[in-house]
Each structure stands twice: as C-alpha cells, then as structure tokens.
Chain A
Amino acid sequence: MLAQAVRYFSVGLGHPPSDTENPVRFNFVYTRDSQSIPVLAREGETLLEVAHNNHVDLEGACAQSLACSTCHVVLEERIYDGLEPAVEEEEDLLDLAYGLTLTSRLGCQIKVTRAMEGMTVKLPSATRNFYVDKSKVPSIERSHK
C-alpha cells in the first residue's frame, strides 16, 4: 500500500509507530527552512531510523556502519549533554561533517529515549533544503525515502 514510500532504500521498519505503541514525539527541522516536522518514534530507534520511518529526507549513505557523516544532526544542548559521549569512530567522522556545531552527533548513533519527548533536531545535511511554498503542499511535509 505504501508502494511509493518504501521505494527508496531506508533503514528501520519503514513506518512510524501508531498511537497505541506510546510513541515518543519530537520534531525535525531543516535549517534552511524553518518548518517543523513532527515525527513519531519508538524508544530505542536511532534518529536516522526515525527520519526514514517518517519519510524525512536524511541520507544514511553507509546504512549506520559509522563510515560516513551524511546523517549528521544538531541537537538541543540539554539533549546533547544528556547523552553518552561519542565513541572515537563517531568523533572521527563528525570532524568532517558539513555544518559541524558543538552539539552535533551522527543520527545513526543516537537512540531515542523518553527524555527526548518534544525536542527539536536540526538537519544541516538534509537534502530537502529548498524553500517550500507552504500553500502548495499538504499539511505535513513528507518526502519520499
């Protein structure tokens, strides 16, 4: 049924959790476009998996193998501070990330917890960075993944 949605390679289950699964709700935002994208996540999913499940345009070229930095995300300070520090391999890749900040992490290495409810995650390397005329698209900005 989601023929077009699952057509492109993705990590994760391919669809967001339903209400009955008591999902964690938070937002992604493309830095060049201030529109906030609400997403639903299961605890333990990586941020990259959440993006793909909710059809948010975030590339993961090496499919979560810690071999690239295309899934680079920028977190709120309070969320960043509460995480386990990155392992050396992740730090090495973050060094190269476009738009690197002091609260940057790789989306494939961060697992969703309840404490992330309501947070905003910025996507500097997202590929959907065009200005979107909001009157021309449906309410939730969804892109194919």
Chain B
Amino acid sequence: MLQTFLRSKQSLTHHLPSRPFGFFVAQDYNPDFKSCLESQHLIKSDKDYRFAVVGCGPAGFYCAKQILKNVANVRVDIFDRNPHPFGLVRTGVAPDHPEMKKIEKDYEEVLKDTERCQFYGNVWIGANGGVSISKLKELYSGVILAYGATSERDLGLPSEKSLLGILSSRQMASWYNGSLDKDVLYDQDLALEQVKNVVIVGNGNVAMDISRVLMKDPEKMAPHDIPTPVLEHLRKTRINSISLVGRRGAVQSAFTIKEIREISRIPDLTMYALKQELLDSFTEASEREQHPDFSVHARGIQRRTEFIKQTSVILENEEQVREVVERKEGRKFILRYLNKPVELLGEQRVKGVKFERMRLEGSAGDQRAVAVEPKQVTTMDCELLIKSIGYKSQPIEGITFNTKTHTVPNLMGCVLNDKDEPQPGLYVAGWLKRGPSGIIDATLRDSVETFRIIKHHLDNEMLPEKHTKPEDVQKAILENAANHQVVDYGDWQKIDAVERQEGSSRGKSREKILHKEEMLSISKKV
C-alpha cells in the first residue's frame, strides 16, 4: 500500500530513495526535507491566521504548540499578566519537585520560535486598563482563554476573613514559590515561627505539597529554586503536627499515592489515622469503588487505600490523638476523614477549628458526606489553618461565566454565549475550561481537544484571515496605558539569566526575583 502511495506522490517524495516499506533516515534528507515537513501541516491553507492565547502557562503553551505544529501560515501571540511565562509550573509546582520544572525547557522551544510566536509579558487582558476581548477579536482570527485560576474557594464560615492565620493553599504555594502576587502578609498572617500545629482542610495534592514543604528539611530544598527569604523562614520553623482533614472517606482521598509515599519517607515524621474514621470509610459503595470491575483506576485507588492502612499508626480515639500531638519528640502527620469544618475558633488569630463528624451516603462513584446523628463535634487545635478546597477562576469582561462552577461555558473548548451557542473564534483551555483540578497530562489532552475544534473551524473557513503585525499589537496595548512596559521573550531571557546567576552564586539552581519592578528594570537594561 505504501509502495503504491510512494510512486503516486512523486512530487513529495522524489528525493527519497526507494526502500522497502518506505523507511527513510535522516541522512537521506535533502534541503527539500524542510518543505516536506512543512507539507505535513494539517492545515495548509494559503490564508494568514493569527491567534492570541491569554495565559502563558501549561494550557496556553499546549494550545500554542498545537497551532504552530499544525497550521502553515500562522502566528501565535501569548499574553500573560506577569513578566514571566510558565504560570503554575513556576508558581504552583512545589520547590522540592524540580524535575517537574523541566517542562519549562519544552515550553521554551515554543517561545524560541520568534518568527511565529511572540510572548507579551506584563500585559493585562480585560477591563481595568487592559486590552479588551473585543480588541483581541479585531486583531486575531481566534482568541484562546487559558488564564487559569487566581482565586480560591472559601469555607463559608464566620470570621474566615477576619481571623489571622487562615490562608488558602493557593496563597501558601504563591508564598513558597515566590509569586509576584504579594498576597501573603508573612509577619502578621502566616508567621510560621508562632505555629506548632497546622490544620489543612482538603486532602488533594496541593495540601500534600504544603505538608512536605513545612515538614521537610529546608536544606534538602536549598539547592533548587525556593526563594532564599522563604528558606530562611522555614529554617526557623518548628511544626509539631499537621492534620489533613477530608470531608469524605479514605477511599475518596484526593491525593495521589506518589505524594503520600513521599510524605511517609520524611525523617522523624509519623503518619497516623483514626480507627473508626477508617472503618466508616469502607461502606459497600467505597469497596465497590476499589474493585477492578468498577473502573480502570480502581486498582490505583486500592493501592492507595492499602498504603494508608499499612503505613499509618492507627489511633483508637481523640484522646489518643491529643496524647500523640502533645508528645515532645517527633513530628506528626495525621490523616483525618469524615469531618467537616463548622466553626473557627480564636480572637485575633485562629486557635482551633470545630468539625462535625460525617458519614457516607450514596452509590459508588457518587457518595456524599452527610452529618451523623446525633451530632458529633471534634475540636482540632491549630495556629495555622489552610484551606485546600480548590482554586477558583475569575470571570473576564466580555465572556460568559458559570458562577457555580467558576468556569467559562464551552463546547469542547469553543466558548458558548449566554444563549448556549458556540462562538467560533473564542476558545478556552486548561483549568478555566474544565475546573481547577488535574495534573499536567489532563491539561495536555484538554488543549488538544480545544485545538480539534479550532481545526474544525479552520477547515470550514469559519475563522477570519488576519495579517496583524507586532506593531498593531503594541499599539493596542499602549492605547490603554501609554507608558506600559511590555516584556518579550528576549527580555525574559535577561531576567532568567539574572535569576540563574544569582542562584549559582548561592549554590542554587535559581534565585527568583520577587518584585515585578525589579524584573521590569532588568528587562529594560540593554
């Protein structure tokens, strides 16, 4: 079949030597190879297209990559409110997971394609002096919203906003990663030197990241990119216990086994769980959720549950919990289940949380936590409460927004208007599209799905041709803010070089710059 095909497509393959089954190797390629590869773009239209991506994190990058690989005559402009690219890879991935940051090398290759891809850093899109969505629609054939989630879900309890010592997991990650969003007041609010016991509500992977950063030996993290001021605070921190509280049962734990395994290996740290909370976790429905017949991921769930059961020291009751927490030696990591926070205690700073005991109700895959009757209340003491119940996206002016799920309504990545009609030319990808959960693999597949719709629109000539030039984009940015400083890829490389150099002089991979003004002044230098 391939032989016949080869013969019939002379113009494309005349430079290839005849070979059985069409194998060819690098050395056979002649200068026409470039055009041969180019001819493999899925969309070969003569038309000129321009795409804008709002948000330069994983979702934005994967969309840009898909477009650049598959569309012949295209330019992709990626905007970000920060002067740096990479989004949560820089401000979310924990500082003790440097291998995950390697993905930046992959993303850099997209930015290096400066003929076809431009980074516009330090540019706000939307209301309040930014470039509007309608302006972007004028300049671009398509606009992809991939700006993620910059807020968090609340517990919805009184005093939540007034008590000190209550932070979201997003704020914690921003703090230990040196995010330019200065929304953590260390001395007043976080003040780790005052903290002995921590309660974390929510048991996903970010909760695990925070636990590790608080309990690991700071010297182990020192050689990577954790900011020096953060390291200095951690060196003076002596956390005694962390209670990780899930509203549902052990089988519904949101963390992955990789993370719990890592926690269990931290020296001088013991993992605990409560006997009755574990027993009550194993409803018939939960057992079903772990059965291979239920889903292909059941095996993984079972491995995780087994690990929890085998590795935790089992405590009989609250009294034993208190006894363990009061011990002077060793650090304690306590897995709590079937507890929901109902009251925050403390006058100026939080000093404890009251929880109501839950039980599971519902069918496999759909179990909910319901309060037990009669009410059972537990108080957990703490000087720091972390809400790890989810990041939350925010709306952007000009685009419909689902205020329940905090996502942009869409059909496989094409934005829907308020009448539920798809809007060709407007797309969404990443957490803004599907909600703020999932690892990088999910974001990758999600961006590919969005591209599939874009491709469908391109194939059917539903997107306008555009010839927008960089000068046109600059003009649009400066229209709203006359002296605005845009950071391009070359500028980022200068900032990057300074960070790596500073890091190198301190035995670190990178010393992150913590102030936007500093980044901007470096990028201005010739």
Contacts and interface: CB of A to CB of B under 8 A. Distances in A.
Interface stretch (A42-50, A67-75, A76-84, A109-117): A67-75
A138 B23 contact: no
A65 B100 CA distance: 8
A96 interface: yes
B6 to A, nearest CB: 5
B347 interface: no
Interface stretch (B142-150, B254-262, B335-343): B254-262
Contacts of A63: 99, 102-103, 105-106
Contacts, number: 142
A140 B418 CA distance: 45
A72 to B, nearest CB: 8
Nearest to B6: A139
A136 B257 CA distance: 45
Contacts of A40: 23, 25
Contacts of B100: 61-62, 65, 67-68
A140 B258 contact: no
B444 to A, nearest CB: 6
Given A93-B258, A144-B37, A130 B42 contact: yes
Contacts of A17: 25
B23 A127 contact: no
A138 B441 contact: no
Interface string B81-117: 0000000000000000101101101101110110000
A97 B261 contact: no
A70 B448 CA distance: 13
A70 B102 contact: no
Contacts of A101: 296
B297 A68 contact: no
Nearest to B37: A4
A100 B9 contact: no
Given A9-B105, A138-B40, A68 B441 contact: yes
B228 interface: no
A16 interface: yes
A129 interface: yes
Interface stretch (B28-36, B180-188, B390-398, B516-524): B28-36
Contacts of A144: 37, 40, 69
A139 B106 contact: no
Contacts of A143: 40, 69
B264 to A, nearest CB: 12
Given A63-B99, A92-B257, 18 more contacts: A1-B33, A2-B33, A59-B444, A61-B441, A65-B100, A68-B440, A70-B441, A92-B258, A95-B257, A98-B441, A127-B445, A130-B42, A132-B42, A138-B39, A138-B40, A139-B6, A141-B40, A142-B37
Interface of A: 1-5, 7-9, 15-19, 25, 38, 40, 59, 61-63, 65-70, 72, 88-89, 91-98, 100-101, 125, 127, 129-130, 132, 134, 136-144
